[in-house]
Amino acid sequence: MGKRILVLDDDQHILDILTYILTEDAYEVKVLADGHQVAAAIEQFDPALILMDVMLADLDGWVICRHLKERPETSHIPVILISGTHDLAATLHQQGAPNDFMTKPFDLDVLLSKIKAQLV
Amino acid sequence: MQQTDFQNLQNMVLQAPIGICLLDATTMVAELLNDKFLEVAGKPRETIIGKFYWEPFAEVRELYEDALKNVALTGEPYYANEVEMTLIRNGREEQVVVTFVYNPIKDEKGIVVKIAVWVVENTIQAKARNEMGALNKKLTSSNLDMQTVNTDLSRLNSELLLSNKNIHLLNLRLQESETDFKRLVEQAPVAILVFRGPDMVIDLVNQAMLEILGKDASLIGKPLLEGLPEIKGAPAVDQLFHVFQTGEASDGNEAPVPIKTNGVVETRYFNFSYRPLLDKGKIIGVMDVAVEVTAQVLARKTLEANEQRLQSILDTMAEGVVIVNAAGQPTYANPMAQQIMGISEEQFKERDYNDTKWHNERLDGTPLLREDHPMYVVMRTGQPVFDQEIAIVQSDQEKIYISINAAPLRDGGIISFTDVTSRRKQLQQKEDFISVASHELRTPVTSLKAALQLLDRMQGNIRPEVLAKLLGQANRSLNKLSDLITSLLNTNRISQGRFPVHKTTFAIGNLLRGCCQHILSAGSHEIIQQGDLELQVTADEQQIDQVLVNLLNNAVKYAPQSRRIILQVEQQTHAVKISVTDQGPGIPADKVSHIFERYYQADRSGGELSGLGLGLYISAEIIEKHGGKIGVESKPGQGSSFWFTLPL
């Protein structure tokens, strides 16, 4: 089995498509629609990378990312944030920044190459 | 001017409430003066009478000698209104304010033979407006009787004897005196009327008075009310009769008197002095010395009316106005200013514009420095400032935003401001909405793009079920996108007023059945229709359908566990009420009040529940356009019932 990727997004369509693409590219995918469960999911699934939408139901993906980066147990896991705005470019230099980001609508090829880059 | 005795003329002049001094035009020697003149001059009689005028009045000779000479030369009177001068009165130097006239008195050939000095002291009322012959002081009535007149005459006589004039000259002098008096009165710069008897028969009226009345000498001999019938009832006239009856002198200020000029009766204003005329102790008539002040009074009234108008504009305008003095201290705050700030005018006056009680802040929340306050900028640069927004904390600790215009005044500044808090809130809401909207729109675009990209990649190598799934996804995304855009467009059209209503009459039941279809076919919910379903309503069918679909979709979306939705139609007196009830989680009270607002989203989550939050706003607008009402009854845990009415 390939490397494990945890995908967090509350849009079912996106989750379906991402699952399909990533699976086709030989990754093992777990999807999560609810940000509250991210800690448990990480512990259980032990992903090699986390793909997360900035806007989740009730939660800010950016806050979750910072949280993950500050905890020693999870700080090593690369995180790619997906956002509808371009603000994230500036945040790459702040504390708790994700490893990379994508803007919506995203290009599948670009996404795949970013993931690959993070998993090298 | 006829019929009046010389003595009575003399009486009049000597008793007049205006200081009078008669000078010979050639020698400038004082030949006659009255008590009032002495009072103003503050010098003993013997220092003035028979003397060259500038001897007793040396202290002001330099100022006025040329003017006096000019009067004799040109025959034009010289007026000095409320002038300040230093006079030596009663032995001391005094600063006085007087109004006086050097009035030329001409003989029949028009040659200036005498000059009459008419003077009134205004020191006390120096702040009052120009008045020629101000008659405001009450005189101590010292009625000269024949005795005093005789004394004066004999003094004249003795003075003449003393100066070695002969009897012939004395006779001439007496004759001259009468003529002098006549001319004095006739050519006086103030209007004079003399009345006789209880009917106030007009005995004497000088040129100045005739001009004011616009009448000619035919007035003489007529009783007052016959000659000037239009003035009957004026308080000044009643006062006149009162003076005759009681013998009490009286004065009037800015008294209105109706006078007929050129056939039209106008109200004109006079300052006047009434003095009773006595003969051997008996009241025989009244002397009226008057000055017309109509122009001043009207000017003042216009000024007052303007001020009042300005004041009422300030009082009622919808902007707060504050006027500050040169030190930045408020001296006036209009009612709207008090209302916006929540403090009284007195409280305004206690603080300057930079007082900490305002908690002035910039828009970003940082404290506003004195140098940046618009009022400071205006007073420093002298240039006005427009539409500058700052934040202020009101008296009850609430922060508000105001937009300030400030401009300098000659001795301070003026600030006008409006409360723009709701404007800013709306802007903020709009901005929030736009960012949510753009995010929402991106989501279906993202999945649409991803699906198509996948399809593209997999061309020729695609399993049919995957193809079907991706195509289905693409379509759903596109539909979602389309719906969102339609919502946005509708909102835009509503706010621009381009949302026309096309009404038809139809059975409400048909509409209800149609709009439930898509939910019923999904099979997840049961919709129960009850009530007066066959009621005919007149409305825009498509728009009401939109409303119903929106309410039903909300019920499904926000109360997914509630399997049952009830659609109820209820006929009321002049309307039909339709309600959509679910048994879902209900809506908290604090959200209920905002739920129909334009940019309000009760639920900010993403995913399937997302939307632009415009549905209820659009529904509310539609119902309102139909003249109906919309509302919701809901309690947390007890489901929600959205209802609307349409007029029948």
Name the residue ranges covered by the structural domains of chain B: 6-186, 199-299, 324-417, 424-495, 504-647
Using a CB-CB cut-off of 8 Å, the residues of chain B touching A55 are 439, 606
- pLDDT tens by residue, B411-449: 888 889 998 988 888 787 777 777 767 767 887 888 888
- pLDDT of residue B354 exceeding 50, the answer is yes
Please give the residue of chain B at the shortest CA–CA distance from A108.
B450
Listed in sequence order, the residues at least 6 apart from A35 whose beta carbon sits closer than 8 Å to its beta carbon are: A8, A56, A57, A58, A59, A61, A64
First-last CA distance in chain A: 17
How many CB contacts within 8 angstroms connect chain A with chain B? 72
Please give the residue of chain B at the shortest CA–CA distance from A11.
B607
**pLDDT of the residue at B432:** 74
Q: Where are the beta strands (DSSP E) in B137-249?
A: 191-196, 201-205
Residue the block writes with tokens 């007009």: B202
Q: Closest Cα to residue B35, out of B15, B53, B9, B49?
A: B15
**pLDDT of the residue at B143:** 31
- pLDDT of residue B317 exceeding 50, the answer is yes
Please give the residue of chain B at the shortest CA–CA distance from A10.
B607
* Average pLDDT of chain A, as a whole number: 85
**pLDDT of the residue at B8:** 66
CATH architecture of B6-186: 2-Layer Sandwich (3.30)
- pLDDT of residue B363 exceeding 50, the answer is yes
Distance CA A91, CA A89 (A): 5
Residue of B549 and B357 predicted with greater confidence: B549
**pLDDT of the residue at B62:** 92
For chain B, what percent of residues have pLDDT higher than 90?
Answer: 16
**pLDDT of the residue at B178:** 66
- pLDDT of residue B131 exceeding 70, the answer is no
Q: Which of B450, B608, B609 sits opposite A17 (nearest CB)?
A: B450
Please give the residue of chain A at the shortest CA–CA distance from B441.
A84
**β-bridge mates for residue B276, sequence order:** B286
Tell me the CATH number for domain B504-647. Answer: 3.30.565.10
Distance CA B246, CA B286 (A): 11
- pLDDT of residue B13 exceeding 80, the answer is no
Distance CA B578, CA B236 (A): 78
Assess whether the region B6-186 and the region B324-417 belong to the same CATH fold.
Answer: yes
Using a CB-CB cut-off of 8 Å, the residues of chain B touching A34 are none
Distance CA B324, CA B376 (A): 11
* Average pLDDT of chain B, as a whole number: 81
**DSSP-derived pairing of the beta strands B564-571 and B630-634:** unpaired
The residues of B whose Cβ lies within 8 A of any Cβ of A are 435, 438-439, 442-451, 453-454, 457, 466, 469-470, 473, 476-477, 604-609
**pLDDT of the residue at B129:** 40
Cβ atoms of B230 and B260 within 8 Å: the answer is yes
Angle at which helices B508-522 and B541-558 cross, to 10°: 40
Average pLDDT, integer, range B52-64: 93
CATH 3.90.870.10 fits B424-495, yes or no: no
Cβ distance A13 to B609 less than 8 Å, yes or no, reads no
- CA of B446 vs chain A CAs: smallest distance (Å): 4
- CA of B337 vs chain A CAs: smallest distance (Å): 42
Please give the residue of chain B at the shortest CA–CA distance from A21.
B454
Residue of B421 and B5 predicted with greater confidence: B421
Cβ distance B607 to A10 less than 8 Å, yes or no, reads yes
- CA of B441 vs chain A CAs: smallest distance (Å): 9
Average pLDDT, integer, range B517-541: 84
- CA of A8 vs chain B CAs: smallest distance (Å): 12
- pLDDT of residue B136 exceeding 50, the answer is no
- CATH topology assigned to domain B199-299: Beta-Lactamase (3.30.450)
The parts of chain A modelled with pLDDT lower than 70 are 1, 85-91
- pLDDT of residue B377 exceeding 80, the answer is yes
- CA of A105 vs chain B CAs: smallest distance (Å): 4
By the 10 Å C-beta count (0-12 exposed, 13-18 middle, 19+ buried), B332 is classed as middle
Q: B198 in helix, strand or coil?
A: coil
**pLDDT of the residue at B601:** 62
- pLDDT tens by residue, B215-273: 888 888 899 988 888 888 888 888 999 999 998 888 888 889 888 878 888 899 988 88
- CATH topology assigned to domain A4-118: Rossmann fold (3.40.50)
**pLDDT of the residue at B124:** 58
What pTM value is reported for the model? 0.46
Tell me the CATH number for domain B324-417. Answer: 3.30.450.20
By the 10 Å C-beta count (0-12 exposed, 13-18 middle, 19+ buried), B131 is classed as buried
Residue of B460 and B196 predicted with greater confidence: B196
Lowest mean pLDDT among A88-92, B21-25, B110-114, B353-357: A88-92
**pLDDT of the residue at B580:** 92
Distance CA B411, CA B149 (A): 58
**DSSP-derived pairing of the beta strands A28-32 and A4-8:** parallel
- pLDDT tens by residue, B555-577: 887 777 778 889 999 999 899 99
Domain range list for chain A:
4-118
Angle at B25 between CA B19 and CA B31, to 5 degrees: 50
Distance CA B422, CA B638 (A): 33
- pLDDT tens by residue, B465-494: 888 888 888 888 888 888 888 877 777 777
